[in-house]
Structures are given as structure tokens and as C-alpha cells.
Amino acid sequence: MAEERESAEDAGRLSAVDAKDAKRRPAERPGISALNCAELELLAAERLDAAAYSYYRSGAGDEATLARNCAAFGEISLLPQVLVDVAALDPAVTVLGSDLSMPIVVAPTAFQKLAHPEGECETARGTADAGTVMCLSSLSNSTLEEVGAEPGERWFQLYVFKDRGLTRELVERAEAAGCTAILLTVDAPVLGRREADIRNEFSLPAGLSIACVGDGDVVAPSGESGLAAYFAEMLDPSLDWDDLAWLVETSPLPVAVKGIHRADDAERALEHGAAGIVVSNHGGRQLDTVPATIEMLPAITEAVAGRAEILLDGGIRRGTDVIKALALGADAVMVGRPILWGLAIDGADGVRRVLNMLRAELKQAMALCGTPSIAEITPELIAPRSHY
């Protein structure tokens, strides 16, 4: 009897612990949903295959830059103004010729069918519903033509392949599929050391391929990452500024350069015809220990001096992050991982939920900062270090 009482007491204690943990976790019951991007990630992690979640979540090296991208936003304080009429809030912007309902763009992320059977097509539907633009990755599991048939506006992220004929064909197909801008990725001459992918021997499961480039397979050699092997075989590490000039001359679409870290490289990009700069460290997945993107932004803003549009990705998880990026000179931000979490949870509806959640947070932050329009978000909103 004593043993039975002890067993019952232990079960009661375990139930209490489980109940306490359940309160910490986001509820996914009718009428109740995750309230922020961090909670969405927890839900997505439960639904995704472990290797797929690890691929999406992880970064390079010790993941110092991955962590820094988010942490740096928390070290910036806002200094709001008061007694401003914020009864009407307008977060709409125009970026690279695209009219957006908010300054938030869906960043290019690879292999979206690991999150949902319809992959990039579902993301396109959710993005269109939210009134913004999706940037399609060169490493997508859906073709340019499939995604181009979906509603909404698209940009295309371009890797330059050793086969320049293939690269030229990709640009032409992007134009034919209705893409309205090209984002040339320049921070990946080789793939960063992503140890989670090496440990998992990351590869695409049977039935999935890089559809944009003609069913490219991603197969892992023993003890290696399949994506690293694909990069080494297919992508051109000799990419230089002349190639940017060639792309600008070849395509009638505006070209933004994605992966800029330095002010002098931003200057060079403009000299070679870039219409936009994307301040990006590839989500902390390339060279570890580079600064957070928000830390690199002010110097690049100063160098660009209004001559081109500036986007920023990396670490955007809250509406206040968007405000801070805009105040420091970005015209818009790009969001990657949170979109994947929404896609994994609920397809197009999940993508729309993420974007609408960030827009609602942005509008609330605009009201509380006393900035009823995007044009009124200025550097004066950022508290000088002397304030704290």
C-alpha cells in the first residue's frame, strides 16, 4: 500500500510538471494560436522531420552570428515621440518597383517542400494574401513556372552557376515567369561550415530535387553535407564585379546585391549598376563571427546615401525589429525562418499568419513611436547610447 501511495504521489507530481510545461508552450487549439515567432518555431519543430528542422534552424560554425542577429536588436532602444495623431497608420511602401502593404518581404529560403508538400507554391499564396512580395530561391523545390502561376508578385534570388548558360537561362525564365526583380547572392562562393548538416549528412529525400535548375539532386557523400557537395560541384566561386555588371546589362529587371557586409562593397555594387543593396549575412549560415546585419546597416546606409534602396535580413522576429531597421536606413526587411515555421504549421494560412502578425506588431510599434507613416520612421527614434 505504501508503494502504491508513493507511485500515485509521483504520478501526481509528474502531472503537475507536465501541466506547468504545457502552460509555457504555445497552445494550438481552436481560437488559440502562437502569439509570436518564437512560439511558432516551437510548434514547427514538433511537426518537421528532425533533419529538416535542423537544416532550417542551424547556422555556421559555433553559430555566433546566428545568435547575434537576433540579440543585437535587443540591445537597441527606441525613443518614441508622443502627442502625435496616430489614428490612421499606413505601413505601405514601394521597394524595387513593387508596391507592398508593409516593408516586410519574404526572403528566399531553399527546399520548402521539406516543410509542406506544396512548398514554394503555398508560400506564394500566403504571401499574396498578405499583400507583399515573395523572393523565390534558386534552390527551390518548385519550378519558376509553377510558382509564377500563383497569385501575387515575385522576385528571384540568383546563384551564379559554373554553367553560365544555365545562369542565363534562369534569368530569362525568371523574367518570363513574371518576376520583377533579381537578387544576386554574393556571400556564398563556397558553402559555410554548417556542422549540423555535416552531422546529419543532409540530403534531399527521395522525390525532392532542386526543381528550378532542372531536377538537381542533393545527395550527401559519406560524412558530408549534400548541399556543400552540390555547391562545390555546381556554383561558380570565381564570381566577381564584372559578373554583376553583366547581369545588370543582360536583364531589364532591377538587380539588388544580396550579402553585402561593408560600406566599400556597397559603393562598388552601385558603381556596377545595382539598384538595391541587401545587407545580409545569410542568416548566420556562411562566415561565422561576422557582425549582426543590424550592426552593419548604419555604415552601409551612410555609404549608399539614398542612391539605391536598402533591404536587410537576419534576426527579424518582432515589429519593433522592423522599426529599428527602418530607422537605421533600411527601406524594407526580409524574413526567412519564421515564414518556414508558418509554412510547416499551416501552409499558406500559416505564412499569412506570420506576415499579418508581424504587420500588426509593426503598426502597434508605429503608433507607440508616434510615426503614423513609414516616412516618419527616422534615426531620431533610436536612443543614443548615452541614454542607457
pLDDT digits (tens, 9 = 90+) for 302-328: 999 999 999 999 999 999 999 999 999
With contact defined as beta carbons under 8 Å apart, do 354 and 335 qualify? yes
pLDDT of the residue at 386: 66
Q: Which residues pair with 311 in a beta bridge?
A: 278, 332
Mean pLDDT of 65-79: 97
Residue 62 has pLDDT above 70, yes or no: yes
Residue 32 has pLDDT above 50, yes or no: no
Q: Which residues pair with 95 in a beta bridge?
A: 98
Is 282 marked active-site?
yes
User: Closest Cα to residue 87, out of 366, 374, 355, 381?
Assistant: 366
With contact defined as beta carbons under 8 Å apart, do 255 and 244 qualify? yes
User: Closest Cα to residue 132, out of 283, 356, 349, 341?
Assistant: 356
Burial of 51 (0-12, 13-18, 19+ CB in 10 A): middle
pLDDT of the residue at 259: 98
Please state the pTM of the whole predicted model: 0.91
Helices (H), 79-154: 119-130, 144-148
Determine which of 19-33, 92-106, 151-165 has the lowest per-residue pLDDT on average.
19-33
Determine which of 16-30, 186-200, 238-252, 307-321 has the lowest per-residue pLDDT on average.
16-30
Which of 116, 272, 282, 387 is catalytic? The answer is: 282
With contact defined as beta carbons under 8 Å apart, do 268 and 241 qualify? yes
Share of the chain above pLDDT 70, in %: 91
Q: Find where cell 497552445 sits.
A: 27
Mean pLDDT of 37-54: 96
* CA 309/CA 180 separation, integer angstroms: 15
Domains, the chain, in order of start with CATH, read 40-372 (3.20.20.70)
pLDDT of the residue at 215: 62
- Looking at per-residue confidence, does 341 or 16 come out higher? 341
Phi-psi region at 88: left, alpha or beta (left = phi > 0; alpha = psi -120 to 50)? beta
Query: Cα torsion for 370, 373, 375, 377, to the nearest 10°?
Result: 30
pLDDT of the residue at 16: 40
User: Closest Cα to residue 153, out of 172, 125, 173?
Assistant: 125
With contact defined as beta carbons under 8 Å apart, do 388 and 77 qualify? yes
Going by C-beta distance under 8 Å and a sequence separation of 6 or more, which residues neighbour residue 239? 160, 186, 189
* CA 64/CA 60 separation, integer angstroms: 8
pLDDT of the residue at 305: 97
pLDDT of the residue at 220: 84
With contact defined as beta carbons under 8 Å apart, do 294 and 276 qualify? no
Determine which of 141-155, 201-215, 308-322, 356-370 has the lowest per-residue pLDDT on average.
201-215
Share of the chain above pLDDT 90, in %: 86
Three-state secondary structure of 273-322: CCCEEEECCHHHCCCCCCCCHHHHHHHHHHHHCCCCEEEEECCCCCHHHH
Cell numbers at 86, concatenated: 496616430
Tens of pLDDT, residues 143-190:
999 999 999 999 999 999 999 999 999 999 999 999 999 999 999 999
Residue 99 has pLDDT above 90, yes or no: yes
Mean pLDDT of 251-268: 98
Phi-psi region at 13: left, alpha or beta (left = phi > 0; alpha = psi -120 to 50)? alpha
* CA 276/CA 121 separation, integer angstroms: 26
* CA 1/CA 13 separation, integer angstroms: 18
pLDDT band, very low/low/confident/very high, at 212 (cuts 50, 70, 90): confident
Helices (H), the chain: 2-24, 37-47, 50-57, 64-74, 119-130, 144-148, 164-176, 195-200, 226-234, 241-250, 263-271, 293-304, 319-327, 337-369
